[in-house]
Structure 1
């Protein structure tokens, strides 16, 4: 199933280039566009290199998800949508997973953009259809844009806020006009707009959860389901876009079934028992120790690591700075000294991970060493509003020797906490003014993070802080996350190779108090706001890199998170009935290009006694 993310992170940069099919004055028309460099695939390309156009269709793949779901509307803040729901919906364009900054037409056949990038127009394919056979029209595109901004997740309002107008040009063309041409990636961003049926949604309440299977236009539609337990998607036999170059060799399974499990431990045991077919492993301990069961040893289950070049972003403990307890950056910095990554990596992760030290880790956008001359020039106007050490010291998260002895870190933490108005009394840390103890809750949605959080809580206890670990079900967790009803969480903020509009939703002041946004930390900093806008308006790649690094430095200096770790491989295990192309995409797992080998499947069934 094509990966569709509600919060699309475009892999784009800031100087679009087109494979030119027409050039009418200062307007370029192309089958795709790249934010810098050339498109890899020409106008007459046959298929993406990482897809096998001869891959056979057929078979059923069984997958797993954790928790529950209660709605088939993935576009609103209410409810929890099921895994795989993105296969129902399509966008105007689609990313190529082996190029960092390129998109190609899907619903749109061609893309028009003027030299000043103040608008973009999409020529829709006349063959594009919803599942009920009705054509996709400019009216549907306009409706989708307007309804998502009005009633969709708050993310959409910030993502599209620089669009001033959307209009129908003719029966197959729609045009978006922008505030100005400074936001270079907007022509690509608008291509990622999910297209919904105006006729279908006009008779339904868009801002309500629903378990009615929605009308889409993608390669799959919902076949059967039991809310919270399973959902089955069936490939649309007459899918209108099956033979497009961007789709050939993909979406090869006839049926995709997701079963829901209470937690990851239960799900792992179910995989071992053959209850589902494919598993992506996120726990280092399980990867190192839990895959020695007989089916792996006999080759019935394949264990494989697939390298990728995806920026890893930031996984971390996020402070909720809306809480008075965490309003002081000295307090946040102090608590960071009490997370012992080196001990965790050695004793819990089998030394599988690298410590994250940037919000843009594993990319050229990450700020390392001292600021360059270009970064200093960007930061100079804010010199009186940001910490001086940004100019003199490169950020490094606190570290240890891995022995578990963190006395030096404890000493530093207590010094910072004392400066912030706290004191150690009778084995508790209390506020010097109010006498209240330092207590907070770490909210989790997965038991897997309990083993990381418990040693952290023990270290906090050594300085008199009581940290309660609370693991809740996925529904409760989402509700509390949307309402910012937490002290600390474990969260992941992914990044692309070209950050842009989405940064407003992550760190922007005007998103800090809007429910459902991803400004989990509650950041309200005019300097960060200004730097975000400079990132969005960066005129070229070099400028984008410098401005992003400057933003990275200021974010790190605020101690809004305690960085975790990252890895640059997909760890997957699967029952041996699959084949996949020899070439893997750089920027994705590419599971939608895999297929079931009938002979392997038959042999597997025979060996398992089916």
Structure 2
């Protein structure tokens, strides 16, 4: 299950951030072995009789595997500061623009931060990503049977919308139905959830069409709950609201913040709700401390960084090694020289990340794995890392880099047993070869790599004619286009372009405005892009969205490569239906190994830390939550420091204009 900061299982703004680096569930046929032995479809899902239902105990928490850390009477999460002061404004930057406050539909550009308005039935603890532990928010308790064929949740009778109306079971049911009806991503994600029903007063139940999928209760516990009465009502002009359309009317929520001042496409401010119903819940103690949270929009990273250095933004997670090493030096950042800003590097333990060039297998030219492998031999990571990235990066050799889920060496034990079930459909190299990336870093190494790449192209049916790589049978040139959304991203794409040119392959680069780029990617209208997948420590149904056959042609899915392979589908189900942590780890390593040896992507760079630029009036817990930075939820503003910095800024010169370079 995705472990993110948003209440939305598919956060479009986070997606855009990933694209700017260069920047779910359905029953699948053909799955076998473990999945078939431990699961079965449910023809007519129903709840048990009431006596059987009531005999099952209610729980204050739920995990995927293992035990919850916090007992039923816990007062707060360990990582929060219960004495954090309330007040102040924190300002963040966002790339692109927005034109809607509708968080449901895929049309339009939803404003950053909308998750601050809404709540889910249960919420995750930021120090239990390894078990995916969740605790009650809109709901107080959860129960489900041993076969996970349904789940019931008790709503908190104190939960209310910002207009004072109670949050009802009917809101949950209506929200679930609208999410599935109006958004193909949610429809895919909730495909195994066939019905939501009021099983008792104040109690909502969800019925599933398969048994054995322990993640389904978690998935519905994170449904975004919307106010039915508001969306079916009228606006101030008497016009009936339409949840199928974009809107800039301030929406009603139940969460700790509401929409305040905004300028469409430019900025939006969220204001703390003083009478927020859930402020004293154990899951909220020490959280939601800023009086206002403001998002400023920028067309490019350069302008955003200049605003940060001028004191107009307070916090940034810096994804670029080059910018980190060049743009924030004391001579270019007077406020840092004065001691007003901290640069922090903190471990990223929550996920394994694969950032890669992603060829679109929906294009015939990329369907031969030898072609994809040939392209990988043309990427000189070592030279880029040395000359541009200050040696800060590793090259990922796993889709779960830096975690226990990453495959290593040759398969053995339980992992090998799982892979053997799919041997006939997997590349033989899965069993015989350790996956390694080509190594460059010198002229000699790259000459050798390009010779190997040329041989791979020839094996795939291509040849050089007049210094052009062409299909040996048709004479059609092998050429493609790479889309990207920020100018600086060309720094990582251009070297690949130049290497391929030496093989007679023409690669064109197209820089696009961020919103247009996002739309092209959403509809799989590209030859190649750069993309990153962040993986949780408890992977599950989201793997179907990333690699599953059923997601290949669903607009907005994260199956960017266009993978449709029955063995991959089977390995995904091995993960989803794992009954022990040991099996989950083994199955994930097996999937990782299969993805790598299919050469679906060309790995780029990997960095197992978070780089933070933080103005010193913004404070966070020490230590931070084990598996998250937790910003802005568990951070706060120190008023005295804010006043001192505001006074000092008046005496500082403006930061010099600087062109940061991404990487």
* TM-score, structure 1 as length reference: 0.95
Q: Does 1:138 align with 2:175?
A: no
Q: How many Å separate the matches in 2 of 1:308 and 1:551?
A: 22
Cα deviation per residue 1:67-103 (whole Å; 9 max; x = unaligned)? 1112212322212212211101110011000012200
- Whether 2:627 is the aligned partner of 1:598: answer no
Counterpart position of 1:176: 206
Residues 7, 224 of structure 2: 8 Å contact kept: no
Map 1:417-428 to 2 at 5 A: 417-428=457-468
In structure 2, distance between residues paired with 1:114 and 1:315 = 39
**Residue in 2 aligned with 1:18?**
none
Q: Distance in 2 between matches of 1:521 and 1:201?
A: 37
Distance 1:533 1:33 in 2: 21
For residue 512 of structure 1, report the CA deviation from its aligned partner: 0.9
Please tell me whether residue 185 in structure 1 is matched to residue 188 in structure 2.
no
Q: Identify the residue that residue 523 of structure 1 maps to in structure 2.
A: 563
1:358 lines up with 2:409 in the alignment: no
Q: 1:274-423 residue pairs with structure 2 within 5 A?
A: 274-292=311-329, 293-401=333-441, 405-423=445-463
Secondary structure class of the residue paired with 2:286: coil
Residues 361 and 207 (structure 1 numbering): CA distance in 2 closer, same or farther, change over 3 Å?
Answer: farther
Task: Select the residue among 590, 596, 603 that pairs with 1:550.
Answer: 590
Q: Which residue of 1 aligns with 2:293?
A: 256
Distance in structure 2 (CA, Å) of the matches to 1:393 and 1:247? 49
Looking at structure 2, the residues matched to 248 and 476 of structure 1 have their Cα atoms a distance apart, in angstroms, of 40
Following TM superposition, by how much is the alpha carbon of 1:308 offset from its aligned partner in structure 2, in angstroms?
3.0
The match for 1:94 among 119, 123, 143 is 123
Tell me how far 1:381 sits from its aligned partner: 2.9
Quick check: 1:4 aligned with 2:7? yes
Shift of 1:25: 8.2
CA offsets 1:267-312 (integer angstroms, 9 cap, x no match): 1112111221111111001111211122212201111112231112
Specify the SS of the correspondent of 1:513. Answer: coil
2:381/2:441 contact within 8 Å kept? no
5+ long unaligned stretches in structure 1: 16-22
Hey, what does 2:114 align to over in structure 1? 85
* Separation of aligned partners in 1, 2:611 and 2:489: 18
Q: Distance in 1 between matches of 2:641 and 2:443?
A: 47
CA distance in structure 2 between the aligned counterparts of 1:266 and 1:341, rounded to whole angstroms: 28
Query: Contact 1:220 / 1:235 at 8 angstroms: preserved in 2?
Result: yes
Separation in 2, partners of 1:106, 1:501: 23
CA distance in 2, matches of 1:196, 1:448: 39
Cα distance in structure 1, aligned partners of 2:582 and 2:369: 31
Give the corresponding residue for 1:74. 103
Change beyond 3 A, Cα 1:437–1:137: same
1:391-441 deviation line (CA, Å, top 9, x unaligned): 001111212235685011101100010111111122221121222222211
Q: Residues 384 and 3 from structure 1, CA distance in 2 versus in 1: closer, same or farther, beyond 3 angstroms?
A: closer
The aligned counterpart of 1:207 is 244
Q: SS at the partner of 1:131?
A: coil
Q: Which has the higher contact order (CA 8 A, sep 6+)?
A: 2
C-alpha separation in 2, matches of 1:553 and 1:370: 9
Whether 1:471 aligns to 2:511 is yes
- Counting only pairs closer than 5 Å after superposition, residues 434-453 of structure 1 correspond to structure 2 as 434-453=474-493
Q: SS where residue 387 of structure 1 aligns? A: coil
Counterpart of 1:494? 534
Using a 3 Å threshold, how does the CA distance of structure 1 residues 388 and 26 change in structure 2: closer, same or farther? farther
Pairs within 5 Å for 1:106-125: 106-125=137-156
Summarize the Cα distance change of 1:333–1:177 in structure 2 as closer, same or farther, 3 Å threshold.
same
Moved more, 178-187 or 399-408: 399-408
Q: Secondary structure at the match of 1:494?
A: strand
Of stretches 481-490 and 426-435 in structure 1, the one that deviates more from structure 2 is 426-435
Counterpart pick for 1:31 among 57, 60, 82: 60
CA contact (8 A) 1:343 1:402 kept: yes
Report the count of equivalent residues. Answer: 599
**Please, which runs of 5 or more residues in structure 2 have no aligned partner?**
15-23, 25-34, 39-51, 234-240, 652-663
- 1:448-486 Cα shifts (integer Å, max 9, x gaps): 311111111111111111111111112111111111110
Asked if the contact 2:64–2:538 (Cα under 8 Å) also holds between the matched residues in 1, the reply is no
How far has the Cα of 1:162 moved from its partner? 1.8
Residue of structure 2 aligned with 1:432, choices 451, 472, 475: 472
The change in CA–CA distance for 1:113 and 1:6 in structure 2 (over 3 A counts) is closer
CA distance in 1, matches of 2:67, 2:611: 32
Q: Name the structure where strand makes up a greater proportion of residues.
A: 1
Q: Distance in 1 between matches of 2:494 and 2:601?
A: 18
Shift of 1:371: 0.7
Instruction: Measure the CA separation in 1 of the matches of 2:421 and 2:637.
Output: 58
Distance 1:127 1:25 in 2: 23
2:192 to 151, 162, 185: 162
CA distance in 1, matches of 2:448, 2:505: 17
- 1:2 to 1:350, Cα distance in 2 relative to 1, 3 A: closer
Residues 320, 486 of structure 1: 8 Å contact kept = yes
Report the Cα offset of residue 557 of structure 1: 1.7
Q: What does residue 20 of structure 1 align with?
A: none
Q: CA deviation at 1:24?
A: 8.5
Distance 2:5 2:385 in 1: 34
Q: Aligned with 2:304: secondary structure?
A: helix
In the alignment, the residues of structure 1 paired with residue 306 and residue 444 of structure 2 have an alpha-carbon distance, to the nearest angstrom, of 32
Q: Distance in 1 between matches of 2:582 and 2:374?
A: 35
1:589 pairs, out of 605, 619, 629, with 629
Distance in 2 of aligned mates of 1:329 and 1:251: 48
SS at match of 2:625: coil
Between the aligned partners of 1:312 and 1:378, the Cα distance in structure 2 is 22
Do the aligned partners of residues 234 and 2 (structure 1) sit closer, same or farther apart at CA in structure 2, a change above 3 Å counting?
farther
1:246 aligns with 2:283: yes
Give the CA RMSD over aligned residues: 2.1
Q: The residue matched to 1:409 in structure 2 has which SS?
A: helix
Q: 1:283–1:448: 8 Å Cα contact kept in structure 2?
A: no
Structure 2: distance between partners of 1:2 and 1:546: 27
1:339 and 1:95 mapped to 2: Cα distance? 39
What are the Cα deviations for residues 476-509 of structure 1, in whole angstroms up to 9, with x where unaligned? 1111111111000011122111111111111111
